[in-house]
Amino acid sequence: MNYQEVLENARKTILNCKACPECNGLACGATMPGPGSKGGCAHENWKAWRNYKLNVDTFAPDGPVDPSCTLFGREFSLPLLTGPIGTMLQYSKTDVTVPFNDGVIQAAAETGIIACFGDGLAPETVPGALASMEKHGAAVMPVLNPLPNALIIDKLETIEKTSAVAVSVVVDSAGLNIGMFKKDSPGSKTVEDLKLLKSHTTKPFVVKGIMTGKAACNAVEAGADAIIVSNHGGRVLADAPATAVVLPEIVDAVRGRTKIIVDGGIRTGGDMLKALALGADAVLICRPFAVSWFGGGSEGVRVYVEKLRKEFIEAMYMCGARKLSDICPDMVRKA
């Protein structure tokens, strides 16, 4: 199966999504509920990476490219995480969240990357994903919504007993309007809240949904082992800037004190290199994994990861990088 076939297959079953040749946030537009974004924010994310180009410079000793990366004290085959999707009801009439997570987690194990899953709405989501993680021996990071602290702590204690590689709290889900300001709905967190949550886990603690240098410093103060620069794929605030635009400011503010993962509109191996050249340690990609799973289950997800790997290696080679530590800001320019 190739990626073209994955997309063609996906179009037969996926809802609210056209499985476009490149997932650029235009066809899904401002569809929420649905997999789109608020305003044109998902498209802005995508466009911002198009505004960067890679500097071809092959002057380097010839040899193979090694795209592997170390994160959370472990080695992975690529600096890539799959994005959490709390509920697949955005894409389907029946709830396929558990089999989706299973397919992605299996493919992550087979391709040597990290899979994330969201804690979603249905009670079976977290136990289902944790069972898939153990079944496939995968590197998995649960991403928990910013519910009242006691509810997060319950989940942290369950996750603590598993082999999850890290655990994340997604602070920007405070902006999701499902059930806002009702009991047990997502809400904002303080540095003190995050310190408390971190004290309930020994796993690397990752704060997702950072969009300013100040927020990044707050996450560092709370003890974040990594942050995810993210505007939730444009789903929480229509006028949020693109993540590629704020990434350099955040890299500057953090000054190496925590690992930086970035998401939002990253679609190709070339985009992955742009993100790392701008200072990220790894990237997270979300929507294309949903499309790939509809198009071919676990195999569809593997096809997309291998496409990214091929493109990333080619981009590194053509910019003179043989390993991740060779990647530097000189490799990227504003278009």
Ligand X SMILES: Cc1cc2nc3c(=O)[nH]c(=O)nc-3n(C[C@H](O)[C@H](O)[C@H](O)COP(=O)(O)O)c2cc1C
Q: Extract the tokens encoding 275.
A: 């993100």
Smallest distance, Å, CB 320 to ligand X?
A: 27
> According to the binding rule CB under 6 A, does residue 300 interact with ligand X?
no
Q: How far is the CB of 61 from ligand X (least distance, A)?
A: 34
For CA atoms 147, 153, 154, 156, the dihedral sign is positive
In order of 40, 123, 167, 218, the CA distances from 212 in angstroms are 20, 33, 21, 10
State which of residues 10, 71, 78, 85 lies at the interface with ligand X (CB under 6 A): 85
**Residues with Cβ < 8 Å from 32, sequence gap 6 or more?**
38, 235
Q: Is 97 in the site for ligand X (CB under 6 A)?
A: no
Closest distance of CB 25 from ligand X, Å = 7
- The span from the first CA to the last CA of the chain, in angstroms, equals 34
> Closest separation between CB of residue 328 and ligand X, Å?
25
- Does 84 contact ligand X by CB under 6 A? yes
Of 159-218, binders to ligand X (CB under 6 A) are: 170, 208
What is the smallest separation between the CB atom of 144 and ligand X, expressed in angstroms? 8
The residue from 156, 224, 286, 327 that contacts ligand X (CB under 6 A) is: 286
> Are the C-beta atoms of 76 and 271 separated by less than 8 Å?
no
**Catalytic: which of 43, 136, 200, 232?**
232
Please tell me the count of residues contacting ligand X according to CB under 6 A.
24
Residues 118-157 that bind ligand X (CB under 6 A): 118, 120, 143
Is residue 40 at the binding interface for ligand X, with CB under 6 A as the rule?
no
- Is residue 260 within the footprint of ligand X (CB under 6 A)? no
Q: Does 254 bind ligand X (CB under 6 A)?
A: no
Is residue 112 within 8 A of residue 145, CB to CB? The reply is no
Beta strands 332-334 and 282-285, pairing class:
unpaired
Residue type, 158: T
Tokens at residue 289, please?
């994994």
Name beta bridge partners: 140: 115
Q: How distant, in Å, are the alpha carbons of 176, 297, 327 from that of 283? A: 23, 22, 14
Q: Toward ligand X, which CB reaches closer, 83 or 103?
A: 83
Q: Which listed range, 94-102, 199-207, 257-265, 317-325, lies at the site for ligand X (CB under 6 A)?
A: 257-265
| Minimum CB distance to ligand X, residue 209 (Å) | 7
200 is known as an active-site residue: no
Residue 58's contacts (CB-CB under 8 Å, 6 or more residues apart) are 317, 318, 320
Report which of 71, 112, 69, 70 is spatially closest to residue 203, judged by C-alpha positions. 71
Q: Which residues have a catalytic role annotated?
A: 232
Q: Where does this chain bind ligand X (CB under 6 A)?
A: 35, 42, 45, 83-86, 90, 118, 120, 143, 170, 208, 230, 232-233, 235, 263-266, 285-287
